[in-house]
Structure 1
Amino acid sequence: MLNIVLFGPPGAGKGTQSEKIIDQYNLVHLSTGDLFRKHLGEGTELGKLAQKYMDEGNLVPDEVVIGMVKDKIATTIDPQGFIFDGFPRTVAQAVALEDMLNDFDTSISGMIALDVPDEELKTRLLERGKTSGRSDDQDESKIDNRIQVYKNETLPVAEFYENQGKYNKIHGVGAIEEIYLAIRRVMDGL
């Protein structure tokens, strides 16, 4: 089973690249943002709680995220593998994911980290905010906060996978197709 952590700050292009990877490798997309929005759309208490944290530009607590991810993995029938988009966001989540995957007799094959400078991230997010309707993509202070939260709380996850020899950094600026080809070169070597 091919299990990939697609990693990078908000606006790095994870969603764009994950679509291409999913099509090529027949992986199940597991996006915590999508799970949160699904719960919000259904009006669940979990969705409302997740939205509160997201609107503030903060991370949703681990226990909420981990429960949703485990449920998704357990209810997926005969997967070829998963692409984890936006998860894990903390080292505690990475450890919990590793334990969870062990229960399913699999593991993370590799992390693909999209590296994009802060100013480019801000430009991309503000542009996305014009069409997405997401309030957290329309406010520069919220964007700055999200980038800072990523650096302080999420970036250590890269070191976790680097220590396992599973970290692969990809330059995330340029043509979408060029970035995708760099990702494929890494994935084909896993």
Structure 2
Amino acid sequence: MNLLIMGLPGAGKGTQAAKIVDKFHVAHISTGDMFRAAMANQTEMGVLAKSYIDKGELVPDEVTNGIVKERLAQDDIKAHGFLLDGYPRTIEQAHALDETLASLGIELEGVINIQVDPASLLERLSGRIIHKETGETFHKVFNPPAGDYNEEDYYQREDDKPETVKRRLDVNIAQGEPIIEHYRAKGLVHDIEGNQEIDTVFADIEKVLTKLQ
């Protein structure tokens, strides 16, 4: 099976990706792993990517697309299929992926789209607080400190502040919607309700993938 998994930050994509790989034995291709492997193996695109990263610059799309193509051309993909996680991030990358798959003679069979209400993701992602003295991490809603704690004893990282999280979600929604619609038009998207217990979410995914096998 050749699959994509999509979902907003905090939707549980990473957890479900690991379960899919474990159950269906497809190759898990995450953007970060791909870049690290390409640079470690000094592939043509890996060397090029490193030259940008070393200068503190963003890696251009054509290099990212090239690294994806190198990875999808490897033997384990032909044997077991893949689950692509974290790519494509833009509609331009989605079009590039279409071209890559066509050139390799690979057919995309499904897009798992984990849907969670952005408001609940905002609560989930912006609730982390850290104790100033001990560095211990808590969550205001899901794992609060014991008793009536004093908020002044805790701080939030910039990344965890509601306004930062909301900006990140807004950017992801704006980038992700055209990609979902692109694949929806091809009849590939399977929407999964992500606001459930982890095992229930996976049971829903499993039903979809069993039919695709």
Unmatched 5+ stretches in structure 2:
41-45, 131-136, 138-156
Task: Map 1:136-155 to 2 at 5 A.
Answer: 137-155=159-177
CA contact 2:26–2:82 (8 Å) conserved in 1:
yes
| Residues 177/101 of structure 1: CA separation in 2 closer, same or farther (3 Å cut) | same
The structure richer in helix per residue is 1
3-state SS, counterpart of residue 125 of structure 2: helix
Find the counterpart in structure 2 of residue 102 from structure 1: 102
What is the CA deviation profile of residues 120-161 of structure 1, one whole-angstrom value per residue up to 9, with x for unaligned ones? 222333467977xxx785343332222111121221111111
What is the CA deviation profile of residues 45-65 of structure 1, one whole-angstrom value per residue up to 9, with x for unaligned ones? 44457x866xxxxxx642232
Find the counterpart in structure 2 of residue 86 from structure 1: 86
Deviation of the 1:187 alpha carbon: 0.9
Matches of 1:176 and 1:52, distance apart in 2: 37
Matches of 1:153 and 1:99, distance apart in 2: 20
3-state SS, counterpart of residue 190 of structure 2: strand
Matches of 2:11 and 2:57, distance apart in 1: 23
Deviation of the 1:28 alpha carbon: 0.8
The counterpart of 1:44, out of the listed 41, 44, 50, is 50
| Residues 149/66 of structure 1: CA separation in 2 closer, same or farther (3 Å cut) | same
3-state SS, counterpart of residue 44 of structure 1: helix
Find the counterpart in structure 2 of residue 17 from structure 1: 16
Q: What RMSD, in angstroms, separates the aligned Cα atoms of the two structures?
A: 3.0
Q: TM-score, normalised by structure 1?
A: 0.79
Q: Which AA in structure 1 matches 2:12? A: G
Q: What is the identity percentage for the equivalent residue pairs of Structure 1 and Structure 2? A: 35
Unmatched 5+ stretches in structure 1:
54-59
Q: TM-score, normalised by structure 2?
A: 0.72
Structure number, greater radius of gyration: 2
Task: Map 1:1-190 to 2 at 5 A.
Answer: 2-36=1-35, 44-47=50-53, 61-77=60-76, 78-126=78-126, 137-190=159-212
Deviation of the 1:70 alpha carbon: 1.4
Length, aligned pairs only: 179
CA contact 1:136–1:143 (8 Å) conserved in 2:
no
Find the counterpart in structure 2 of residue 56 from structure 1: none
Query: Which piece of structure 1 moves more, 28-37 or 144-153?
Result: 28-37
CA contact 1:39–1:46 (8 Å) conserved in 2:
no
Q: Which AA in structure 2 matches 1:110? A: G
3-state SS, counterpart of residue 73 of structure 2: helix
